[in-house]
Structure 1
Amino acid sequence: MQINHFLHTALNVTDLAKAEHFYSDILGLQKAERDLKFPGIWYQIGDYQLHLLVAPENPPSKNQERWGRNRHLAFSVSDIAAVKQRLTAAGQNFQVSGSGRPAVFVRDPDDNVIELGEI
């Protein structure tokens, strides 16, 4: 077996409207076409997709001190200062990476952790 390409990640969300606001309005992701009969939203990020699936509950992150030490997704950004400005303007809490890298960790409304790193 040879794995050739990463296709998508699926995250559980309990409130689709709140998740859509976070991923569409705060992070600025673009929706992808979706022809399925169950509730959710797909986002296209280059040749990768993020799938949000509605679930009745989502267990919280275990490490509340260092968000980056929890399960998380990581996205590359071109300007970490602009990311911090956008998150601050949206009233979104975030943590700066403790490693000193130009990266921040932010939580969506269901406590899924997203890393945004300048690479």
Structure 2
Amino acid sequence: MQITQCLHAAILVSDLAKAEDFYGNILGLPKVDRNLKFPGAWYQIGNFQIHLIVADAIPSDLVNSEKLGRNRHLAFSVANLDEAKEQLLNRGCTIQMSASGRAALFTQDPDGNIIEMSEM
């Protein structure tokens, strides 16, 4: 087997409107048209997609609240970490800087899904 590309990640959300505000408006990801028969929203990042899927219950598997990066998370590259940090804080998002000292931060979507942003 030879895996050649990662296509998408599915994220469970409880409130689609709040999730769409976070991923579409706060993070600024472009939405993708989808013709599926269950509630959700797709967003595009280069050749990669994030699939938001509405679920009745969202499992909480946070194992380390002190260091969000040591939990299940998605990681995005950003052009300017300071700008990303300022934009998140201005929208009321909480952030946690990387404990390693590298140029990275962690935030959470409205359902607690962890997002890492690293300046590459």
User: Could you say whether these structures have the same fold, taking a TM-score greater than 0.5 normalized by the shorter chain as the test?
Assistant: yes
Q: 1:44 and 1:19 mapped to 2: Cα distance?
A: 15
For these two proteins, the number of residue pairs brought into alignment is 119
Question: How do residues 23-62 of structure 1 correspond to structure 2 at under 5 angstroms?
Answer: 23-60=23-60, 61-62=62-63
Please list the CA deviations of residues 24-51 of structure 1 after superposition, one character each: whole Å capped at 9, or x if unmatched. 1111111011111100000010010000
The root-mean-square deviation of aligned C-alpha atoms, in Å, is: 0.7
Unaligned 5+ residue runs, structure 1? none
Does 1:63 pair with 2:64?
yes
| Consecutive aligned runs of 4 or more in structure 1 exceeding 2 Å deviation | none
Does 1:16 pair with 2:16?
yes
Identity of aligned residues (%): 55
Please list the CA deviations of residues 6-30 of structure 1 after superposition, one character each: whole Å capped at 9, or x if unmatched. 1000010011011011111111111
Q: 1:115 and 1:5 mapped to 2: Cα distance?
A: 20
Does 1:81 pair with 2:96?
no
Does 1:90 pair with 2:91?
yes
Unaligned 5+ residue runs, structure 2? none
Letter in 2 for 1:37: K
